[in-house]
Amino acid sequence: MMTIRLAAVAVCAMLAACAQQPTKPAGPAAPAQSEAKPQPKVVVAQPVPRKPPLPAQELTDDILFKLMLAEVAAQRGQLQVAVSAFLELARETRDPRVAQRATEVAWNARFISAALEAAGLWLQADPESAQARQVLATLLVSQAQLAEAQPHIEKWIAADPANVGQSFLKLSSLLGRHKDKAAVARLMQALAQPYPEVAEVRLAVAQAALEANEPALALDEVRAVLKLRPDWELAALFHAQVLQRRSNAEAIQYLADYLKTHPEARDARLNYARLLVNEKQFSEARSQFEVLLAEFPQNADVTMAVALLAIQAKDYDAAETQLRRLLEIKYKDPDAARFYLGQLNEERERYGEALKWFGAIGPGEHYISARTRYAGVLAKQGRLPEARNYLQQSSAQDSQQRVRLVQAEAQLLRDAHEYQEAFNLLGEALAKQPDAPDLLYDHAMAAEKVNRIDVLETNLRRLIKAQPENAHAYNALGYTLADRNERLPEAHTLIETALRFAPEDPFIMDSMGWVLYRLGQHKEGLAYLQRAFALRPDAEIAAHLGEVLWNLGQREQAQKIWSDMLKEHPKNEALQNAIKRFIP
């Protein structure tokens, strides 16, 4: 009897608390008395505290019993019972507090259809609730029901006219997870129509347009933003990002001009320096590093950014100076500095120093990467058995870390051309974790090296079944078929699917160019290969590009690409094989 009384008190307190509960900025609040999983972030405004309109509903014994039943079920993890009970109560009472609780429990239990109904009841019971409207809109967006969400989003934005700009920036984050980028862009344009003079609104439209691969619209919108707010650095950075889609040169020129009038723009200067490094304009990039360090001498984040840019530019002396300085000023992530010190010393073939830095990294975010690099340095010194033993003796905190260690060991074996042993190692690991996606993929790639195409195809099709949007699985299978000149129409379909999921991936572009070449569509294949090489000057892409150019009669250009890449990657097998076939 005491338990029932306590539960009754708790339920009554819940009803009272619901009436006073302030709106939270992350969607439906986590159930106060359950152990449900954390829900995804949802953007919710914070209106002035208000009491929702309550129905003329007496707290009968029957309602009290059902509330207690629902709460006890939620506490015990019996989510099906809890959701059904709360939803039934929400329908019966039309009380916004009960409907809110029903929404919370259903959301956390991932019963989305029930959460949608409960949120609808919540809004019906309290039409002025900004939280109810935002939660309902978020749920509709999560279910790809953009048309149904639109009127709720419009009212949500209009209800807080003083913060329209911030509402749109938050809305961009919410809609950014939606897969139909074109539909999102259309929705954002429709929502933006009443607010043409709000810079944040125009930027949100520009961002959605770029995501939908409409760079011309994105450029128009961001230029409108900068007319409204010329000093807004975020908009300037986005403008440079859009220009970069056309060429790095345009983006570099824009940022150079912007920095003449906004010399204090730190992030713009960092991005400018990064683009200069990408274009191998190292002298100018270094001058930008010096400006940044002079203007922000005590800013550790700037120091780290400059160090990384210096590594990218192969200015290892400058990079080491800044990384050591980070350790002196007690940088928040010292193991990151140690890791990069190990990396740059490995690049300089100072293997003893590299081992010292990698070995100094303890358990944490960088631990597995450091152990992997340490083993790689041992292997470069001809100490492969010692490297393998080092990885085998490394402690793993979870199954994912164990997978990464096995992957690293297999990579050492592949680098040593021990392909059969790598295949066997990955097969043994896969037998212990048969559904590990990374092992399925790596075992498939190892299978190709030992001519076990049956295993490769079986693994990749299992991976595709488990992860239907895994672009790399489609690409790997399609590329393997294309490279072997087998089942070319099927290979083309597989790569086309991969490209649909990852349209900007240069390696998938390379595969598409290669399969088109194999199909006899040389000019179409060349276009993909040239774009892939522009995005990622990789040795294997260079091998394919050179071959297509050679067969199109552009032999001098093919030779130049091969020669340039061979200087950077003298041991690359694909590049060497391509050159041998055409230049004995």
Q: Which range, 23-27, 173-177, 189-193, 386-390, is most confident? A: 386-390
Q: What is the pLDDT of residue 45?
A: 43
In a domain, 312, yes or no: no
The answer, yes or no, to whether residue 56 has pLDDT greater than 70, is no
Mean pLDDT within 138-154 = 81
The last residue of a domain, from among 131, 155, 179: 155
CATH number reported for the structural domain that contains residue 565 in this entry: 1.25.40.10
Tell me how far apart the alpha carbons of residues 287 and 313 are, in angstroms, rounded to a whole number: 12
433-461 average pLDDT score: 96
Structural domain contains residue 203: no
Contacts of 96 (CB under 8 A, 6+ apart): 18, 52, 53, 54, 122, 125, 126, 129, 132
Give a yes or no: residue 91 inside a domain: yes
Based on the number of CB atoms within 10 Å of its own CB, is 292 exposed (0-12), middle (13-18) or buried (19 or more)? buried
| Integer CA distances (angstroms), 357 to 82, 304, 576, in order | 54, 17, 34
Angle at 480 (CA atoms; ends 474, 486), nearest 5 degrees: 110
Residue range 31-44: mean pLDDT, rounded = 39
Which domain covers residue 552, as residue numbers? 469-584
Spatial distance between the Cα atoms of 375 and 386, rounded to a whole number of angstroms? 8
Average pLDDT, stretch 466-486? 95
Q: What is the pLDDT of residue 481?
A: 96
DSSP calls for 50-85: -PPP--S----HHHHHHHHHHHHHHHTT-HHHHHHH
**Residue in the structure block whose two tokens are 């402690």:** 395
State the Cα–Cα distance between residues 266 and 204, nearest whole angstrom. Answer: 22
Cβ burial of 382 (10 Å; 0-12, 13-18, 19+) is exposed
The dihedral of CA 493, 497, 503, 506: what is its sign? negative
Residue 433 CA, chain-centre distance (Å), reads 25
- Total structural domains in the chain? 2
Name residue, tokens 């350790």.
327
Q: Which amino acid is at 23?
A: T
Q: Which residue has the higher pLDDT, 173 or 376?
A: 376
Main-chain phi, psi angles of 523, to 5 degrees: -65, -40
| Residue 237 lies inside a defined structural domain of this protein | no
Nearest to 443 by CA among 470, 465, 416, 411: 411
Higher pLDDT residue, 521 or 114?
Answer: 521
pLDDT attached to residue 115: 83
Q: What is the pLDDT of residues 180-211, one digit of tens each?
A: 888 889 988 988 899 999 999 999 999 999 98
Does residue 142 contact residue 112 with C-beta atoms inside 8 Å?
A: yes
For residue 508, is it within any domain? yes
Convert 344-398 into a string of H (helix), E (strand) and C (coil): HHHHCCCHHHHHHHHHCCCCCCCHHHHHHHHHHHHHHCCCHHHHHHHHHCCCCCC
pLDDT at 406: 97
For 165-213, the DSSP string reads HHHHHHHHHHHTT-S-HHHHHHHHHHHHTT-TT-HHHHHHHHHHHHHTT
87 occurs within a structural domain: yes
From CA 546, how far away is CA 7, in angstroms rounded?
Answer: 76
Average pLDDT along the chain: 86
Counting Cβ atoms within 10 Å, is residue 531 exposed (0-12), middle (13-18) or buried (19+)?
A: middle
| DSSP secondary structure code for residue 520 in this structure | T
**Whole-number Å distance between alpha carbons of 452 and 449:** 8
Do you know the residue count of the chain? 584
Q: In the chain, what percentage of residues exceed pLDDT 70? A: 90
In whole angstroms, give the CA distance from residue 537 to residue 529: 10
Cβ of 553: how many Cβ atoms within 10 Å?
9
Query: pLDDT band at residue 494, thresholds of 50, 70 and 90?
Result: very high
Q: What is the pTM of this model?
A: 0.66
Q: Is 481 part of any domain?
A: yes
Q: What is the pLDDT of residue 118?
A: 82
Q: Is residue 43 part of a domain?
A: no
Among residues 155, 186, 208, the one where a domain terminates is 155
Per-residue pLDDT reduced to its tens digit, 481-490: 999 999 999 9
Token representation of residue 552: 């199109």
Both structure tokens of 537: 């000057």
In this predicted model, which residue has the larger pLDDT, 30 or 345?
345
Report helix, strand or coil for 553.
Answer: coil
Residue among 499, 501, 556 nearest 528 (CA): 499
pLDDT tens-digit map of 77-91: 777 888 887 878 888
- Evaluate whether 129 touches 142 at the Cβ level (below 8 Å): no
pLDDT greater at residue 280 or residue 316:
316
Which pLDDT score, from 0 to 100, does residue 31 have? Answer: 34
Question: pLDDT tens for residues 348-402?
Answer: 999 999 999 999 999 999 999 999 999 999 999 999 999 999 999 999 989 999 9
Domain boundary among 155, 186, 207: 155
CB 295 within 8 A of CB 262: no
- What would the two tokens of residue 174 be? 């919410």
pLDDT at residue 18 in the model: 40
